[in-house]
Amino acid sequence: MPCRCAWVSDDPLYQHYHDTEWGVPLRDPARLFEFLLLEGAQAGLSWITVLKKRETYRLAFDQFDPHRMAAYDEAKVASLLADPGIVRNRLKVAAFIQNARAWLQLCEEEGDAAAYLWQFVGGAPWQNRWASIAEAPTRTAESDAMSKALAKRGFKFVGSTICYAFMQATGMVNDHTTDCFRHAEVAATT
């Protein structure tokens, strides 16, 4: 059995996510948008809770199509709040819709949303070397800057801790611990 980061449970879904997605540099704008939303949905919850609901989120939110989401009306909001397959929090649902609108504006103004987000780490993944997950920060000056910039653009649920988790998930930082089999593999993908 490979050595994984200590935060990974024995849940096969969690292990698969850790082994194939977490920390892998991601530059696809659509996937970055999805992760930004899902990291916000995680606020106050465990990531496994959101991960188990990810497929339902994709269905409920039209595969995270920002154009469709930005046009949601009260009837759609009501149907979302009645969907047991997602976190039925009115503020988080409203944030998804607001974030879709802010995303479209970001894309219009910046052109390349991926490059915009990656600028906060200088355009290339940071290769951290933590012996223990306890060494990894929960926020940094860079996640503070991303948080402030996104909030200024109208994004919701983008606090610094959420932004740092987003950076970890999308490979902007490699926070696999050095004893984890994925640390070297992820570092080699940059």
List, by residue number, the catalytic residues.
Answer: 17, 39, 47
Q: What's the gap between Cα 117 and its chain centre?
A: 12
How many CA atoms are closer than 13 Å to the CA of 139, on its beta-carbon side? 13
Structure tokens at 132: 């223990």
Structural contact between residues 26 and 34, judged by C-beta atoms closer than 8 angstroms: no
Determine the Cα–Cα distance for residues 83 and 143; give it in Å rounded to an integer: 32
- Strand residues in the chain grouped as ranges (E): 126-127, 173-174
Q: Which of 12, 77, 9, 81 is nearest to 46 (CA)?
A: 9
Question: Which residues are CB-neighbours of 47 under 8 A, at least 6 positions away?
Answer: 165
